[in-house]
Amino acid sequence: MIERRKRWLLCVGLAFFLTGCTVHPAGEREERQAALHNGAAFTQPVEKRQLPPLSPDPSPEDLVRYALASNADIEQRYWEWRSAIEQIPQDGTQATNLTISAGTTISKGQLSSDRTTLAALNDPMADIVWPTKLSVASQRALENARAAGLRFAQAKFDLRAKVLDAWYAYALNAELIRIEQSNAELLATGVLVVEARNRAGAAGQQDLLKASNELDLSRNDLANMQAQLPALLSALNALLGRPPEVALAAPAALPTTRPISESNGKLLAMAQRENPELKAMAAEIRGRGSSIELAKLQYVPDFSLSAGTDLAGLTQSLLGSVTVPFLRHEAIDAAIAQAEANLHSTEAARRQTQNDLGARFVGDISALRDADRQLALFDQVILPRLARMVELSRSAYESGQSSLLDLLDSQRSLLSVRRLVAELRVAREKRLADLESILARPLDASD
């Protein structure tokens, strides 16, 4: 009798183990640790988070650090990553439960222990799944979690590019305002000169009207650019996770240009190797492969176990059944074909994404190299030449060899080129920020 009870308890223990089995694939712990490390700031409620300090005159990188800790889109991506991680143990755990049942026979109004039975079995509504299926399903969930983590990393670099883009637009607007203020001052001086010449009979009324119109148009452009500052600031504040009206001083000068020392070929190879979106799609492809394997495993039968005994210990029972998917072969075949189609779809999407990123990279790097060429031309040749022309015009005016209007025209030409250089410099830095988003790393002269 003791041996029978031992065997029964062993069967009960086996049923309990199989119904409560959870498979944890290799790499799950590392993925959890990476998520906890990279999103520690998001585990605190918003009102209790310690955000990086932001000075009244922050650098672009200060703004990026602040945005990475406060932007709600980044936080959403993080929690999507955490959610995908928690899917791993769910897919790796048996869908069934341990069920305890009891029954008895009443004879002549009396109960008897030898007619009372106690049984342990898995949930009759859910069979015990073959452990290999759990292993493959949990591995697929792990690959999906890795893809979510990589997209979280890509989202951070995309946010960095957006913050820099908004900051450069804000800085450019402030720089153009300063240039236009200088232009308006020159035009105002020109109007005074033309008025004096008109009174002296040396200039006609048409010249005065023309000069006045140019001054009014310049002041209108200046007012228009000043009106754009609140909208540009609110767009930047939105990326920083702040109310739109929070003040932030416009930079006193454009950010310095960051040179690139790496060759185009090396940067392209780096982009194809390190881009998080491409890595995420590679993880999804591995997950699609697991889906095919899991679909094929549906041909493997599931089973059920039941172990029972009467309370007197005289009789024990053990029952097992196998669910053979004989009648579901068409559905299983279709599931396999569907999983293979999903794999091919993801493979094609990754190829196209790689091609699109390559085209985007070529556009960015070509624009960068051409901007560097133009900036070198303006900084080394055009601007020094215009500055020299202004000096010569001033000397000629002081010696009485030319008019003040000639001097003002030279100065306005210099301001026009300064405006062009400012726009070109900002366009270059925006391209660089987009390139860094593709490479998933910042670039500087030492790279």
Helix (H) or strand (E) holding 2: helix 2-19
CA-to-CA distance for 121 and 111, rounded, in angstroms?
Answer: 24
Nearest in space to 145 (alpha carbons), one of 83, 93, 75, 194? 83
Angle between helices 329-377 and 264-274 (to 10 degrees): 150
Nearest in space to 439 (alpha carbons), one of 282, 277, 257? 277
CA-to-CA distance for 210 and 12, rounded, in angstroms?
Answer: 101
pTM metric for this prediction = 0.86
Each residue's pLDDT tens digit in the chain (447 positions)?
Answer: 455 555 545 555 555 555 557 889 999 999 999 999 998 889 888 888 888 888 888 999 999 999 999 999 999 999 999 999 999 999 999 888 778 777 777 766 666 666 777 777 778 788 888 889 999 999 999 999 999 999 999 999 999 999 999 999 999 999 999 999 998 998 898 888 888 878 877 767 887 888 888 889 999 999 999 999 999 999 999 999 999 989 998 888 888 888 888 899 999 999 999 999 999 999 999 999 999 999 999 999 988 877 777 776 667 777 888 888 888 899 999 999 999 999 999 999 999 999 999 999 999 999 999 999 999 999 999 999 999 998 998 888 767 787 777 878 888 899 999 999 999 999 999 999 999 999 999 886 444
Nearest in space to 370 (alpha carbons), one of 260, 253, 256? 260
CA-to-CA distance for 400 and 404, rounded, in angstroms?
Answer: 9
At 65, give phi and psi (nearest 5°). -60, -40
CA-to-CA distance for 402 and 396, rounded, in angstroms?
Answer: 5
Q: What SS3 state is found at 99?
A: strand
Neighbours of 62 (CB within 10 A): 15
Is the domain defined by 2-54+72-439 classed in CATH 3.90.1150.10? no
CA-to-CA distance for 197 and 213, rounded, in angstroms?
Answer: 17
26 by Cβ neighbours in 10 Å (0-12 / 13-18 / 19+) ranks as exposed
CA-to-CA distance for 67 and 61, rounded, in angstroms?
Answer: 10
CA-to-CA distance for 381 and 379, rounded, in angstroms?
Answer: 6
> Is 141 within 8 Å of 91 (Cβ atoms)?
yes
> Which amino acid appears at position 104 of this protein?
T
